[in-house]
Chain A
Amino acid sequence: MRKLLLITTTSALFAGAATAEDVKLGVLMGFTGPIESLVPNMSASAKIAIEEVNQSGLFLNGSTLIAVEADSTCIDSAAATSAAERLITTDNVAGIIGADCSGVTSAVLQNVARPNGVVMISPSATSPSLTTAKDDGLFFRTAPSDTREGEVMADSVFEKGFKSVALTYTNNDYGKGLSEAFATAYTAKGGIITIHAAHEDGKADYSAEVGALAAAGGDILVVVGYLGQGGQGIIQGSLDSGAFDKFVLPDGMVGDALPAAIGPALNGSFGQIAGSDSTGAATFEAKAKEHGFDGTSAYSPGTYDAAALFALAMQAAKSTKSADYAGKILNIANAPGEKIYAGELAKGLQLILDGQDIDFEGTTAIELIGPGDSAGRYREIEVKNGKIETVGFR
């Protein structure tokens, strides 16, 4: 059966060979560096979307999408810039999925994407500064800005009755942006922030940070960081020394690895992560399981959406040139039109081919606002019995 399918798809490819071509998409992510444990799943998610598009055979007269991976390192702007440079000049990619972390993303946007006029869709850069950054209409993201998450987090912390918090953030664009957004929203509601302290990731020891946080006190500790990095070190240190027993966990800290590493002491801690209850999410998670990874892993759904958006926008523009399809992305992602969820990319491509309008929902019920930001819906989680459980959406 599989062979038959293969033969039919190959023959279909040859049939359309007159205009079919290989369209390369750059996947620029931190395969090494602080989020190297998240990236393999993200990259695999992009490939699921690409595979879906290719199997449909409907994409631009039977063209094939090919993913080209490059290492953004997450933290080293110079390395990310040269990797992006290579993607565009050597590999001739039609667009870049990425970059991942906010700092390298804005570096690549300003130094490579804008000068070369290539579209970037980031699944995970959430810094508020990217909303206002000059982008010539080339930058989009499937992850909502931290300003929005800050408000959501402040609401939920306040509603749960915590009136004073200690706050620590990872010292980068993401940490600074989100912690400031939270602080603004939280103090506006009348909450007190006892200390607003940064921590560095990947450091050997966090006793100093824990000591300072404990001395400042507070009802609960808000940890704006990464799991498996400084954030986890601080939680472990706080529990061991009895400084705090409950934690607020924003998106970078949400992952099954955290309760697995910390154990039952984490029960009762809560947080939120971009995510939705849309039907697309379930389809995607099932697909991810088939490919042997966890589809709820942070930013993976957004990466699928980013790859799908490229394919659909190119289809709508009938072109792989950034200048042609960049303008289509907002139309594709937003209403009006027939809703297209994850797993229905073939249907979406067909509808576009038939000249109909679509509203791509994907896995995250994506809605692009303003200059290409995601509106953002959040999944509220709580750690119960050593597992991350969804308790609501906001």
Chain B
Amino acid sequence: MDFLNALIAFLNFVFVPGLAYGAQLALGALGITLIYGILRFSNFAHGDTMAFGTMVTIYTTWGLQAAGITLGVLPTALLGLPVGIAATAFLTLATDRIIYKFYRKNKALPTVLVMVSMGVMFVLNGIVRLFIGVEEQNFADGERFLISTGDFKAMTGLAEGLAIKSTQAITVIVAVLVVTWLFWFLQKTRTGKSMRAFSDNEELALLSSINPDRVVQMTWIIAAALATIAGVLYGLDKSFKPFTYFQLLLPIFAAAIVGGLGNPLGAIAGGFIIAFSEVTVTYAWTKVLTYVLPESMAPKNLIQLISTDYKLAVSFVILILVLLFMPTGLFKGKSV
């Protein structure tokens, strides 16, 4: 019984939130990695692309709610998602046409493109704030919990409760679906194959009559879809605030780099590594140990490896270690 309680406390405070957060980071990192692999630059505007997609989805959700259309127990935002993706795809295609294309034609260095993407980031930052404002927006509706701590305790009679929010469940399910689709698309379809060929060797791909414009367009559309989905899932699970989305850029990049920039599998692994390392290394084990150890050995003080102050440092230490010993990331991406 005590062991079960310890396990539940661990699941409730470490595993479940870590899993959902990891899935959100993984989706974001996939978008970064895709653009890095095919367009060959680090897209700093990705966080704000997420914010833009989420904003459009929020507007659509509000519209649907006003019209009385909801998804019942599921959040209405899932219905608004396609609109958000379409608008974001339009936005990324337009920025590519107006801005990135010029630099690609002139064979600009990746560093230059990074700076350009930073400019795009600031512009998007402004656009999002102009429309929806700086304040926090909540747009989650439907059933809040799949299972709440109270219900869980009543059901099992355990002292510890386990809460699974429906948004956490949706996050993980949607992430699995999207990732499966993406891998199928990249491995099995003609367009996916041409994208991978373009990523591996641009000249060779051009020689085999692959249309570069089409590859670039597909990449932007997929990146926009990934960004919007990641942003909406994150917003549903926590809340939407432009400033936070801007800050999300950091862990997402860390995830993509740890996994290996340009490698989709790495991006997913990286997302979970960053999420779990943030949660586990700084977890205070007092409660779990009190359950597991005999009473005489139960901890009286706080048992914590390092304080949560160092949460961010943990992911950066991992990042530095990976870059030192495996410069191309855990899953052999391109070297940074």
Contacts and interface: CB of A to CB of B under 8 A. Distances in A.
Contacts of A242: 12, 148-150, 161, 163
B135 A228 contact: yes
Given A197-B309, A240-B165, A242-B161, A217 B275 contact: no
Interface in B1-18: 9, 12-14, 17-18
A15 interface: no
A212 B247 contact: no
B278 A205 contact: yes
Interface stretch (B181-189, B215-223, B236-244): B236-244
Interface in B230-268: 234, 238-239, 241, 243-244, 247-248, 251
B202 interface: no
Contacts of A197: 307-309
A200 interface: yes
A225 B113 CA distance: 38
A261 B278 contact: no
Interface string A336-374: 000000000000000000000000000000000000000
B318 interface: no
A204 B254 CA distance: 13
Given A209-B308, A211-B283, A242-B149, A216 B244 contact: no
Contact of B275 (A205, A233, A240): A205
Interface in A217-240: 217, 228, 232-233, 236-237, 240
Contacts of B148: 242
Interface string A299-311: 0000000000000
A198 interface: yes
Contact of A205 (B17, B161, B243): B17
Nearest to B287: A215
Contacts of B284: 195, 211-212, 215-216
Interface string B1-45: 000000001001110011001001100000000000000000000
B169 to A, nearest CB: 13
Given A198-B308, A242-B150, A211 B13 contact: yes
A230 to B, nearest CB: 10
Contacts of B17: 205, 207, 210-211, 237, 241
A214 B243 contact: no
Nearest to B285: A215
B307 A208 contact: no
A236 B238 contact: yes
A261 B161 CA distance: 24
A208 B308 contact: yes
A4 B278 CA distance: 65
B134 interface: yes
Contacts of B307: 197-198, 212
B122 to A, nearest CB: 11
Contacts of B21: 204-205, 207
Nearest to B304: A212
Nearest to A212: B284
A377 interface: no
Nearest to B10: A211
A203 interface: yes
Chain A contact residues: helix, strand, loop or mixed: mixed
A242 B153 CA distance: 11
A51 interface: no
B282 interface: yes
B288 A212 contact: no
Contacts of A195: 284, 302
Contacts of B285: 215
A208 B282 contact: yes
Contacts of A203: 244, 247, 311-312
A200 B313 CA distance: 12
B286 interface: yes
Contacts of B138: 261
A233 B21 CA distance: 13
Contacts of A261: 136, 138, 239
A204 B251 contact: yes
A32 B129 CA distance: 10
B13 A214 contact: yes
B326 interface: no
Nearest to A243: B13
B163 A217 contact: no
B149 A208 contact: no
B135 A257 contact: yes
A156 interface: no
Interface in A229-281: 232-233, 236-237, 240-243, 257, 261
Contacts of B25: 204
A234 to B, nearest CB: 10
A107 B13 CA distance: 39
A33 B125 CA distance: 12
Contacts of B239: 232, 236, 261
Interface string B267-284: 000000001001100111
Nearest to B152: A242
Nearest to A242: B149
A189 B283 CA distance: 29
A36 interface: yes
A34 interface: yes
A210 B288 CA distance: 15
Given A217-B287, A237-B17, A242-B150, A208 B244 contact: no
Nearest to A262: B138
Contacts of A32: 134
Interface string A148-159: 000000000000
Contacts of B234: 204
Residue among B13, B18, B134, B136 with the highest chain A CB neighbour number at 10 A: B13
Nearest to B244: A202
Contacts of B243: 33-34, 36, 202
A255 B17 CA distance: 27
A352 to B, nearest CB: 39
By CB atoms of chain A within 10 A, which of B18, B234, B279 has the most?
Answer: B279
23 contacts: A32-B134, A36-B243, A195-B284, A197-B308, A198-B308, A199-B308, A204-B24, A204-B238, A204-B251, A207-B13, A207-B17, A207-B279, A208-B308, A210-B13, A211-B13, A211-B284, A228-B136, A228-B241, A233-B238, A241-B163, A242-B149, A242-B150, A257-B135
Given A198-B309, A204-B251, A215-B302, 6 more contacts: A33-B243, A36-B134, A207-B14, A207-B18, A228-B135, A261-B239
Q: Nearest 3 CB-CB pairs, A to B?
A: A242-B149, A207-B17, A215-B284
